[in-house]
Chains A and B, each alone.
Chain A
């Protein structure tokens, strides 16, 4: 089993739609969680950290469920500019960043 797994893509959604991505991780000692965004042929960039209580940044909401070892990202009112690959990243204490394979999102006009 891979350490971090994500929904297979691609997700093709119309503008204005709400879309949710899921991510599961296998290491119960994981402590820090992030969502990164990667545009085509560009480097990954931090989208948001994921906190235990859940957090929101504008149209983006991240949730963490430690018991189920599950992270989610919700994007509301999708924009064309949201089209990208979304990477789930997990860190266990004293370990390195473990990246999920990514989920590709295409927002269609």
Chain B
């Protein structure tokens, strides 16, 4: 079974802190994604990566950055956490960027609260 693991289920951080969310997948997937999910807004893509050291902005990249130094690991960084970044963060991976149609597998999510 594909496994996508996020480092924390729950996090509480202070405004202005630098926050790292880690995601690891064990199926050698090329593509990895970070989403945030908020009530009434659905899943919104923050950043994605098609390969090691490659990254592309999604729909809402402002205030975030990412790092992919190894194929299996994709990190999301909140440079200076703000209260409007309180959300559920979901990492996903897949074999293709979507053209081949393989499904995305999700991690269990990290519920981040910024106080």
A42-B108, A44-B106, A102-B42 known; A32 vs B48 contact (CB < 8 Å): no
Alpha-carbon distance A41/B10, docked complex (angstroms): 11
Assess whether A92 is in contact with B43, with CB atoms less than 8 Å apart: no
Alpha-carbon distance A95/B58, docked complex (angstroms): 11
Closest to B111 in A: A41
1/0 per residue, CB under 8 A from B, across A76-100: the answer is 0000000000010101111111011
A12 — which chain B residues lie within 8 A by C-beta?
none
Alpha-carbon distance A42/B90, docked complex (angstroms): 10
Closest to B109 in A: A43
Chain A, interface size: which category? 20 to 34
Q: Is A46 on the interface with B (CB-CB < 8 A)?
A: yes
A87-B43, A97-B33 known; A34 vs B99 contact (CB < 8 Å): no
1/0 per residue, CB under 8 A from A, across B76-115: the answer is 0000000000000010101001111101111111010000
Chain A 39-58 interface residues, beta-carbon cutoff 8 Å to B? 41-46, 49
Chain B, interface size: which category? 20 to 34
A92 — which chain B residues lie within 8 A by C-beta?
98
Residue among A32, A43, A93 making CB contact with B106, cutoff 8 Å:
A43
1/0 per residue, CB under 8 A from A, across B45-60: the answer is 1001000000000100
B104 — which chain A residues lie within 8 A by C-beta?
46, 89, 97
Residue among B42, B90, B98 making CB contact with A100, cutoff 8 Å:
B42
**Sample of 19 more A-B contacts, CB < 8 Å, known A96-B48, A96-B58:** A31-B99, A31-B101, A32-B101, A34-B103, A43-B90, A43-B109, A44-B43, A44-B106, A45-B106, A46-B103, A87-B43, A93-B98, A95-B99, A97-B94, A97-B98, A97-B104, A99-B35, A101-B40, A101-B41
Chain A residues within CB distance 8 Å of chain B: 31-32, 34, 41-46, 49, 87, 89, 91-97, 99-102
Q: Can you list 25 A-B pairs, Cβ within 8 angstroms, ordered by A? A: A32-B101, A41-B109, A41-B111, A42-B108, A43-B106, A44-B90, A46-B104, A46-B105, A49-B101, A87-B42, A89-B104, A91-B99, A92-B98, A93-B98, A94-B98, A95-B98, A95-B99, A96-B33, A96-B45, A96-B58, A97-B33, A97-B45, A99-B35, A99-B43, A101-B42
